[in-house]
Amino acid sequence: MSLTVASSAGFCFGVNRAVKMVHNLLDRGKKVYTLGPIIHNPQTLAELAARGVVIAETAEGVPPDATLVIRSHGVGRPVYGKIRSLGLECCDATCPFVAKIHAIVSRAAEEGKTVLIAGDAAHPEVCGIMGYCGKNHFVFKDADELKKLLAEHRLFKNEPVCVVAQTTFSVAEWENCLEIVKKVYTNAVIFDTICNATAMRQSEAEDLSRHCDAMIVIGGKQSSNTAKLFEVCKKNCVTYLVETVDELPLQALKKAGRIGITAGASTPASIIKEVLVTMSEINEGAAQDTKDPKENAAAQNNTKENTTEGNFAEMLEESLKSLNTDEKVHGVVVGVTPTEVLVDVGRKQAGYVPASELSSDPNVKPEDVVKVGDEMDLLIMRTNDQEGTIMLSKKRLDAAKGWEKIAAAADDQTVLDGVVSEVVKGGVIAVTEGVRVFIPASQATASRSDPLDALLKKQVKFRIIEVNRGRKRAVGSIRSVLKDEKKAQEEKFWETAEVNKVYTGVVKSLTSYGAFVDLGGIDGMIHISELSWTRIKHPSEVVNVGDTVTVYIKALDRERGRVSLGYKKPEDNPWVILKDQYPVGSVLDVKVVGLTSFGAFAQVIPGIDGLIHISQIADHRIDKPQDVLKIGDVVKVKITDIDFDRHRVSLSIRALLEEQAEESENSENN
């Protein structure tokens, strides 16, 4: 007996990706619900259920604290709307191949085309596709149904038509359908959307089954692509569809000389391996491969033979790798998910840019930087012909271009713009032109005391002070730019500064003798005596750090670079107020603020005290002011004299008393 395993057997890219996403969410402690079974394989589903994964039939059945995973089949647009309206956290595992079909039919519907879908109308993938088609769409499962459809809808033959296929549609049946479509429509736009993984799997199964006595197809009974494989193989030889090793018809298989094994897209490698081990055991002692090389040449084009378990594992691993780096492609964004951007690069393969390959800034979210329809240049990182995928990178292409600019900027000391993406040990990382530039703490801020955290996510300007292209290392300095900016501001200030010019500034610091104000690149000082017309003990009685103040230049010392500022306003000068509002002869209430042997001082207005001489306190002789007055008394006085030059104000209580006495004498006489 010989055993031959199809090299395309097992998890396809899309299923693998979806299952991985679920495991990742579980590893992060999330409560996971999937919208329908994530995979058509009962064993994998049981394994996930054991980890707590719940299958929800609709979004409404998902609790608000759970993460809902959309499986690789995808869902229609209305379902996304429902998920959003329920406010559910969602992880979209729609396979890029399927997302590409969504984009195609969506565009066709916008253009008013009728969409024809080759597939099973009840399959979730097709249901999802229909959710992007608008009203005019029809599904047919084979050539016969298509013929019937065209017969029933005669008029629709003249309409513009777009034809797509379910990703797992039978390749042979697709060919049949296309023949019909092409005969009827001259203007049909046809998209062969059968997934490469499916096409290759079917073609290998076809080849292999032609050269075998029996085929084992491993996969879930609900899996559409497994069912197709079974259909393909059973035309050529006796074929057994098994879900697990327990279902192997061992007695029947023992009689077969050549046995081929293939598996559906949702069959885990562990089950394939179990089947292989069991088959190897029953074949004990016999050579596993007795093929005639000529006879099997065709089969060998697409299959690899199993000789040991190790080889099988290697074979699966091998099939996943195909490096194709450094090639540039241009693509159009057809889908954006939180973890990747799906790009149509004009090839049969589905292009995708993992979120980590989109930008050098790890904080960037795909939805923030790209949208469906955007065009971009990308670098191919890896192609996987078996899966039909191309992994692309934007960040590497940006970085390649970026390094050219960085090197040039280092040479001519150009100032670069960037965004600080991370605060790291010893400095920050700024991203410019897709290149990560390290800026040491000593070069990151104007002063060492400024916190680095304040720079996070900020736009900064810097120069490259060191570059090593070989090691892809660039070091920058923000401080160098800040220094230049400060110098330029200083020069500009001195060019235009003049006494009495008014500025708006921000109080930077306070000392016991004044306040320092940032005038925009240069600091000036308001002396404490300039802060207020009244006597103050500390500048903080008038201003505080961070206050925006209007000041004027009182004096400039260009040689020493010093600027003296004025703050208090002339119109607030109490002597001006006194002159305007309290002429000699005014009568007013004043408060006694001090007592001496020769008189009492009283506050006339804030900032001006007047003297009530001892002779003016009463209308009779007193020994000392304290005999009549005490501090805090409020008394009525008359302003009898103002000496503006010497800043002296004379007050009199006596004058008022005498006037009163005179008045009462006059009234008595009358």
Chain contacts with ligand SF4 (rule: CB under 6 A):
12-15, 72, 95, 97-98, 167-168, 195, 197-198, 225, 265, 387
* Pair of tokens at residue 445: 């801020």
CB of 196 to ligand SF4, least distance (A): 7
> Which residue, 197 or 397, has its beta carbon nearer to ligand SF4?
197
Compute the distance between CA of residue 215 and CA of residue 263 in angstroms, rounded to an integer. 10
> Which residue, 195 or 649, has its beta carbon nearer to ligand SF4?
195
Using alpha carbons, list the distances in angstroms from residue 66 to 21, 249, 628. Answer: 14, 42, 85
Catalytic machinery residues: 125
CA angle 142, 143, 144 (to 5 degrees): 95
3-class secondary-structure state, position 117 = strand
3-class secondary-structure state, position 634 = strand
CB of 439 to ligand SF4, least distance (A): 43
Q: Is 514 left (phi over 0), alpha (psi -120 to 50) or beta?
A: left
> Which residue, 272 or 439, has its beta carbon nearer to ligand SF4?
272
Query: Tokens 């690899």 identify what position?
Result: 304
Q: What is the DSSP string of 270-306?
A: HHHHHHHHHHHHHTTTS-S----TTTTHHHHHHEEE-
CB of 339 to ligand SF4, least distance (A): 15
> Which residue, 165 or 522, has its beta carbon nearer to ligand SF4?
165
Which run of H or E residues covers position 537?
A: none
CB of 95 to ligand SF4, least distance (A): 3
Which run of H or E residues covers position 158?
A: none
Which run of H or E residues covers position 42?
A: helix 42-50
Tell me the residue number closest to ligand SF4, measured at CB.
14
N-to-C CA span, the chain: 151
CB of 198 to ligand SF4, least distance (A): 5
Q: What is the DSSP string of 12-33?
A: -HHHHHHHHHHHHHHHTT--EE
CB of 200 to ligand SF4, least distance (A): 10
Compute the distance between CA of residue 262 and CA of residue 230 in angstroms, rounded to an integer. 9
CB of 45 to ligand SF4, least distance (A): 16
Strands (DSSP E) along 535-666, which ranges?
548-557, 562-566, 587-595, 599-605, 608-613, 634-643, 648-652
* Pair of tokens at residue 266: 């949702």
Which run of H or E residues covers position 474?
A: strand 473-477
> Which residue, 97 or 174, has its beta carbon nearer to ligand SF4?
97
> Which residue, 113 or 201, has its beta carbon nearer to ligand SF4?
201
> Which residue, 198 or 443, has its beta carbon nearer to ligand SF4?
198
CB of 97 to ligand SF4, least distance (A): 4
CB-CB contact of 93 with 39 (8 Å): no
> Which residue, 38 or 531, has its beta carbon nearer to ligand SF4?
38
Using alpha carbons, list the distances in angstroms from residue 292 to 269, 302, 646. Answer: 28, 16, 126
Compute the distance between CA of residue 427 and CA of residue 422 in angstroms, rounded to an integer. 9
